[in-house]
């Protein structure tokens, strides 16, 4: 199963083995990773699971969809070219080793 590493707002890194098909958000929340709030539970409705994807993975992860793009405009921490809502990134073998930095402000 693919690994994903989270860089938490306090700077600590945590690596978790994700279930294939689970989102980066779900994997984080279920395992108590700090900083991902995910108030809406993954419906792309709240912009509280904002992460910055490691640049080297941006090609594989891809950019946000239209709705997600608008949500990111309203995110608490200013977006960058690597911003995604982690509920919209599904883990698979191709993303093994993925690194994301969690936005320090979510609400």
- Asked whether position 12 contacts other proteins by CB under 8 A, the answer is no
Encoded one letter per residue, x for contact with other proteins by CB under 8 A and - for no contact, window 77-106 reads: ------------------------------
Cα separation values, 16 from 46, 84, 95, 96, 107, Å: 24, 19, 13, 10, 24
- Asked whether position 56 contacts other proteins by CB under 8 A, the answer is no
State the minimum distance, in angstroms, from the CB of residue 25 to other proteins.
11
**Is 53 within 8 Å of 82 (Cβ atoms)?**
yes
**Quick one: which of 70, 80, 104, 105 contacts other proteins (CB under 8 A)?**
70
Residue numbers at the binding site for other proteins (CB under 8 A): 19, 21-22, 26, 29-32, 39-47, 67, 70-71, 73-74
């Amino acid at each position: 199963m693919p690994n994903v590493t989270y860089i938490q707002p306090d700077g600590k890194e945590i690596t978790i083995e994700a279930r294939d098909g689970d989102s980066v958000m779900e994997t984080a929340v279920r395992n108590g990773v700090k900083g991902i709030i995910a108030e809406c539970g993954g419906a792309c409705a709240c912009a509280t699971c904002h992460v910055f994807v490691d640049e080297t993975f941006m090609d594989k992860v891809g950019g946000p969809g239209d709705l997600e793009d608008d949500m990111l405009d309203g995110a608490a921490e200013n977006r960058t070219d690597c911003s995604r809502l982690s509920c919209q990134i599904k883990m698979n073998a191709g993303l093994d080793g993925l690194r994301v930095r969690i936005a320090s402000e979510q609400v």
